[in-house]
Amino acid sequence: MLNKETKTVVPDLNWYQEIVKEAPETIIIIDRDGRILFHNDHAEGADPAQFVNRNIFEFFLPEYYDLVRSKIKKVFDTGQTDSYELASTYNESDPRWYMTNLGPIIRDGRVVAVSLFIRNTTEIKRAQRELKVSNENLEKRVDERTQTLNEYAYRLEVSEKLNVILRRAQTRQEVINSLVGHCMSVMEADLAGIYETIGEELQLSISIQHTEAPPHTLNADNDHFLFRMLHVNKIHHILLDGCIEEDCQFCCYMYDQKTQALILAPLRIGGYVAGILYIGWKTPRQYSQEDEQLLNAFVESGSNTLHRIWATEQLEHNIRQREQELHVLYQIMSIASEELDADTLLEKSLNTTLKAVNCLTGLIHLFNSREQKLESSIQEQVPDGLYDWLLLTGLDQELWGQVFQTGGNVLVSGLQTKMDSGKTELLTYFGVPIRTKEVIIGVLSIFCKDEGIFDSGVKQLISTIADQIGLALETTRQRQRDKEALILEERQRLARDLHDSVSQSLYGLVLSADISKKLLKLKELSTLEETINDIATFALQSLREMRLMLFELRPLAFESEGLSGALELRLNTVERRAGLMTSLDIVGEEFLPSPLDLELYRITTEALNNALRHSNCTQIQVSLHVDEVLNQLELKIIDNGQGFSIENKSLGGIGLVSMKERATRLGGQLVIETEDTIGTTVRLVCPTKNNNKGIVK
């Protein structure tokens, strides 16, 4: 707790003075009465010593005496810091402001002096005054801005009303009508309207409050002034105190209608001027900046909406065109998928193309590699007069001949020709190359009366159709080549099979019959019975071979029948009809992946063929057990016929090599158990899921 004393005692402050002597701020030490005991070196250009023992009240205005006295007393009494701010005119004509922080200096539990940290705040005060002036100016500007914002809010309000109306519009005419009506109402105009850009002309789309209809069509010849606006993105304000624009027919018309002020604003869709909006007043009217901003907002909203509708219409048109193109291409692909001869394929494709592009006349030329020239393959409604005229004049070389030579599309318009009816017409020709494997094999030619049909989309469609025709034609030709090769291969295979099997059995049959005939003459009846049995055996074997060949000639949809169905069909068709007893036992077929099931089918049929041809068996058993848990299967084909010696038998002749190769690709093992008296067992063990890359898919 501080001891309060009223007696002035000069304390020993040397320790403190050394600390604050060279401080960057003004620091002084005073006693309770305000007498300066110490002043540091920072004295704003004066000698610090001249302030010592003087009273601080000498250096500021009298109106601050009570404030400073109370602050000093408080610090001495409480030992707590405090502060004050005041103005001084010491050695200055203009007052300077200072902020002073008071801090107690305490020795032995009592305040012996107070240190004053003085900071010049004149610049801050000046800035505060300037800020006050700025605030007053700002308030004034805020009031002005508020007025501007209110006007802007009004513009936003009326603009939003127009936007709401335009968002509901579905057609160009709805947009135009709404835009003109709204502009006329908000701008308090006497008349208004819109001219739309149609080709090289401006055509009146709508006019409101006219006593006499405006000119319906304007062009660059009679209204050069308006057409200049199509290239300038700017709103024009015109005061009509006479027909001031000599090359403006529309301006003269408006002047005749007693219009004294006129605004013209271009409506743009992207970089294209879609039309011109006009607004007229029958009294003089100045065009303010607010009017321009408001009208710009209206024009922008209208232009954006027109662009939206145009884009939507264009998108719908593109979608319809694309759907038509896809439909045509689907038809061409459907035609290509049919097994047709080349002429029928080309005829159907040409008819489909002509219907797609809404033309009646077309033809397809194909290149004859032997004659080294283009030959007409298919024609559709080509007038004799047109074709003969093209050939006689040599224009065919400038049409499909040029397409074939250059490999590019050719478009020629203005072909004057006499039709079969005797009437002369102008036709447009468009030809595209037909390619297959990057080689030009022909030309697709289209003739139309309307040149405008051949836009970029139609050209692309015809080119794509030509590519599809080339692909389809190559497919048809390849199919024919494959069919011929297959027939030849099948004939060769049948010849081999007949020679290796049926012909051998028939030869044995003929030989046995000849022996039987001789034995009958010699009346060797005991031997004759044995020979007749041989005849029966040879005949039965021939029958089995023929049934096997007939089965192999029949097409089998393995994918639809599955493994069990295919094997059941085989046993019913061949073995059982040959008089053999058969059995089929399959467990776990659903766990067989593809193509493992097909490989098993081929191994099984090869083993059945061997048994049928070589074993003279009466029974055949086929079993297949698939264990999903062990990832393993076991296939057995067992017959009760005559076995054979593997060492002495030609393996290639009875298909053992091919079966073992298939087993190896499956990652399994094929074991053949055979003896002369107990028949043959073919046993295959292999995994159901094999990573062996050798399996042919």
Residue 328 lies in a domain: no
DSSP-assigned letter for residue 502: I
Backbone angles phi, psi at 367, to 5 degrees: -85, 125
Nearest to 446 by CA among 434, 454, 436: 454
Section 267-291 average pLDDT: 84
Per residue in 159-205, pLDDT (tens digit) is 888 888 888 888 888 888 998 888 888 888 899 999 888 888 888 99
Question: Domain end: 120, 142, 170, which one?
Answer: 120
pLDDT for position 505: 66
Query: Rounded distance, CA 458 to CA 317, Å?
Result: 13
**HSE (side-chain half, CA atoms, 13 Å) at 352:** 25
Query: Rounded distance, CA 394 to CA 9, Å?
Result: 134
Measured at the CA of 562, the angle between CA 556 and CA 566, to 5 degrees, comes to: 50
- Which residue type occupies 580? L
Q: What is the CATH number of the domain that holds 345?
A: 3.30.450.40
Residue 537 lies in a domain: no
Per residue in 46-55, pLDDT (tens digit) is 788 888 899 9
Question: Domain end: 437, 468, 484, which one?
Answer: 484
Q: What is the CATH number of the domain that holds 111?
A: 3.30.450.20
Report helix, strand or coil for 24. coil
Confidence of residue 408 (pLDDT cuts 50, 70, 90): confident
Same domain, 191 and 294: yes
Write the secondary structure of 89-126 as one string of H (helix), E (strand) and C (coil). CCCCCCCEEEEEEEEEEEECCEEEEEEEEEEECHHHHH
Confidence of residue 692 (pLDDT cuts 50, 70, 90): very low
Query: Rounded distance, CA 364 to CA 413, Å?
Result: 19
Section 313-333 average pLDDT: 78
Residue 502 lies in a domain: no
Same domain, 343 and 478: yes
Number of domains in the chain: 4
Question: Domain end: 450, 484, 518, which one?
Answer: 484
Same domain, 302 and 166: yes
Across-strand partners of 447? Answer: 361, 429
Taking the model in full, what pTM does it have? 0.44
Query: Rounded distance, CA 33 to CA 44, Å?
Result: 24
pLDDT for position 405: 82
- Indicate whether 499 pLDDT > 70: no
Same domain, 453 and 596: no
For residue 528, give the H/E element and its range. Answer: helix 525-553
Per residue in 255-270, pLDDT (tens digit) is 888 888 888 888 888 7
pLDDT for position 9: 53
Same domain, 107 and 203: no
Same domain, 209 and 267: yes
- Which residue type occupies 57? F
| Domain membership of residue 380 as a residue range | 338-484
Order of strands, sheet of 373-380, starting from the edge strand that comes earlier in the sequence: 373-380, 361-368, 439-448, 424-436, 410-418
Same domain, 224 and 260: yes
- Indicate whether 550 pLDDT > 70: no
Residue 142 lies in a domain: no
Same domain, 173 and 301: yes
pLDDT for position 245: 60
Section 577-592 average pLDDT: 89
- Indicate whether 557 pLDDT > 70: no
Cα of 416 vs its chain's centroid, Å: 45
Per residue in 68-85, pLDDT (tens digit) is 999 999 999 999 999 999
Same domain, 446 and 369: yes
Order of strands, sheet of 201-208, starting from the edge strand that comes earlier in the sequence: 217-218, 201-208, 191-198, 272-281, 261-269, 236-239
Per residue in 433-473, pLDDT (tens digit) is 888 877 888 888 888 877 667 777 777 888 888 887 888 77
